[in-house]
Structure 1
């Protein structure tokens, strides 16, 4: 019987998030400064649109902060006998928490705006316009810092969506300020606040669904497990494949395990090497635990109920 791994242990810095620590830190600093300014001016002018944008900036700061903490936990807490996969899953909990924050803020803004529709307060347009411009510039910088990492890491993507939502919010606040300045229409501010909240909600659902998919250990969205099963069965010497599992530990770290049944004359070491090479080369699965077993040993697996 042969048993092997794609490599002996999980790398300390193997996750995609670890490559974007500096970008996350810079985006956090930018967001914290702008958040304070937006809240101060928003409450001073009674601008719901600006307060909404500032509230989203709070989620930016909290979300990016959680992303940074998760990255540091994953990088510094390597595998142990009590935590055999280390703390990489922390990078999945952070975007899930981000989704909850975004949902809460969007719901609050919509609720507050509905209450203001009947009697919208008078909002001075000029200070709102100036602060929204600063917020927009800051969000563009943060957006550019995180854009590349959002394609590789779910953790970074959570922070990226926070920034993107706030960037759109800043555009909305600018629009409401311009309308207020040019027409004096009081409904512009609360309506833009509602629009920002409604724009954020579907993206929040998508982020939460992706995080839950990883936490529930579903197969990675881009991998066809049935195809992997067929490819393993086609390897010379393999008679059967069972107990095949493929899941994502954290963004950029796919993991697999499987039992490969071989004939009595098969070269178990050769089968193991071929299977590892197939998974690594064709499916980018470098960490695979594979058990190569003779036919008589496979009967025990058939008795299992799950």
Structure 2
């Protein structure tokens, strides 16, 4: 059994080829928050039969509180068979919502040890660059792609720990970080989990939410407060996208139902998070980053 963002996943069936271990690789942990071997009662059961590619053959939601899936799949592998990782991310996001652990997609969480900033944004809006800048300026990165937040307290309780970043930032922003490997495209791969991260994980709350719109070819930074209906609309998108299958995988994401317990927890998250100051940020990565730190009184 493994834990993913605090959700226990039990694998059954044909597992002698390393199927379960495929969810512990660097590729899988780029998308799956805080993946570790774990004991306890399962929240999710995945029964697997061997096969080509990936298919969900059957599913049963909320059976004695557990979601069960029957899948046909090859071993999860980067570039070859990535769908099982995104399927599992969707499955644990649903199970998490039932327990009050909200999986926020397309997000980065950073902290100075006291306060937390949650950056959200669509692909290629600067999240990885913000993570890299945060590390270089001495902040702790709590998540790099998907963030787990407690619905009642807004504490950041989990997150992805593999950072993929563009090497161009080294010269553009004078950033020098050690890295562990390279992707096929030449991007840097860095493991960000650390003792400091584990010490503050689960203790730091979200104090500011920033919707990113940053790019290399921009200058300066402009922040606009998010108000009115757009606050909960934005929060709803980033907190339910994984559950509803907005994060696409082949052959197609499941259309997962939202039950009463999930809706209660999602509603509580929306109510509490909507009281947090939220901004849209436009401009150059470094300028946006520095201005974001001013919002939590962090001295660069």
What band does the TM-score fall into relative to the shorter chain?
under 0.3
Q: Which has the larger radius of gyration?
A: 1
User: Relative to total residues, which structure has the larger helix share, 1 or 2?
Assistant: 1
Give the TM-score of the pair, scaled to structure 1: 0.22
Where relative contact order (Cα < 8 A, 6+ residues apart) is larger, the structure is 1
User: Relative to total residues, which structure has the larger strand share, 1 or 2?
Assistant: 2
